[in-house]
Structure 1
Amino acid sequence: MKLLRYGALGAEKPGLLDAAGRVRDLSGVVSDIAGDTLRPSGLNALHALDPETLPLVEGRPQADLRLGACVGGIGKFICIGLNYADHAEEAGMPIPEEPIIFNKWTSSVVGPNDDIQVPRGSVKTDWEVELGVVIGEPGSYIDEADAMNHVAGFCVINDVSERDFQLNRAGTWDKGKGCDTFGPTGPWLVTVDEIADMNAMDMWLDVDGKRMQTGSTATLIFKIPHLVSYCSQFMSLQAGDVISTGTPPGVGMGQSPQTYLHGGEIVTLGISGLGAQKSKVVPAL
């Protein structure tokens, strides 16, 4: 099942993608793709629906029908750093012994085709294709063996980052991670049952048609069940929380010479089975 949110910014409605790639309206069934809708009971109720009985929404998703972030009301946007060995190498940092946790502010969340804004004063705005894990069943101190029972599904995330803010402006990485528009999320939330092997999902990212990142979840250092369990040792996980699991090599900081976004570029990215994003880079307002 592919769940989504469509419509104008700030007024998105819940929907699902049918077998023909058309959007079906869920607003008569649930208020949003958020909270309790993402718990097992909520997803089971949506699975039981016949999409053909739901109202058809006019327009083509990601063409003449805007999609918002595929999860509404995200409570926590948790990110994992340096979770691919080859990305750690290109960043000149050691492979972590434990997952590195940082945050993106939820005000950074935008739709999968919304513009990415280069912040005022930015000199090193970068890209990162990442697999997002969406929490369904809440929990604390979750056993790794039980972790996937707490996952509602997966989505594509671009962990846009300003490296100068992140690394040179004192304090934690968060300064360079949570700027407005730095969290394109979607196009859809794909439920766990649709993914044949979460450890073999291809990932890619292009800038102006040039392939910059190519990777696979096969090379994650810390796998998804471990990340869910690990994060839950430090905070309760709630329905609708998102964990962004790290990026493969090929980011701008790792290029020779280093390459960054300044405005005017088109960034496209995707993950097998989860869809793709396409965003224009523009100066901040």
Structure 2
Amino acid sequence: MISEAQFKDELQILIANAIREDVGDGDHSSLACIPESAQGKAKLYVKDQGIIAGVAFAKMIFNYVDPNMQVETFIEDGAAVKYGDVVFHVSGSSRSILKAERMVLNSMQRMSAIATKTNSYVKLLEGTNTKILDTRKTTPGFRVAEKWAVTIGGGENHRFALYDMIMLKDNHIDFAGGIALAIAKTKEYLKNENRDLKIIVEARDIDEVKEILASKGVYRILLDNFDYETTRKAVTLIGNACLTESSGNINEDTIRDYADCGVNYISSGALTHSVYNMDLSLKAI
């Protein structure tokens, strides 16, 4: 995974680009009718229910827009919220509050939806040794916030991007000439480039699981679109040789059954690509 420093850098890039996109050369609505000296206060109001996420991120946004704004927090990231809850108050320049408003709401609404979805999966996995992972199926430019939301909901992050982990999927394997060749070439590449990256390899059937195990040195085997019976066979075959991960159209109805097969991880793109934003508003008080 990426380092904490890289994570913070990505967040700053996201904020700067989003404010540039939204504000451009000025918030002319506010500039036109609100005096520069005007001070205001607003509350983050919940009009839904679920897991709140993005509180810490909102503070970063407010600080970027205007370091003089003050945030008084009543509910922290990861807490369950209901209709009528007030998450925080923000006070300071009225122009600054309005300038930051849309990015704060857009971010928190989506992050809260992701955290809520993730938490529902985490609860379905209670009592098992299986953990839920996200994927790279994220909104372009907003990945760092979405992956942060997954952790707030109790899930874990898969690789952040193409550069922080090796993942050999079906197309890599086919283009490389097979599993053994793909893994061998990868090991040689990592040695020549002096890179220490974990290797995950996708298996499409039990025979491919056997091929991967024969190559050794793989961190995790991805069991893609396996049924329950084949998943159990694969987990038994793999044993402690490496970690296991199930993926492929796994949903609320099937996730527990896959966990009961004994896999270490289940990855789901639905955590980030199939959610409905939590309804939040920022209201002047």
Q: Same fold (TM over 0.5)?
A: no
Please state which structure has a larger fraction of its residues in strand.
Answer: 1
TM-score of the superposed pair, with normalisation by structure 1: 0.24
- Which of the two has higher C-alpha Rg? 2
Please state which structure has a larger fraction of its residues in helix.
Answer: 2
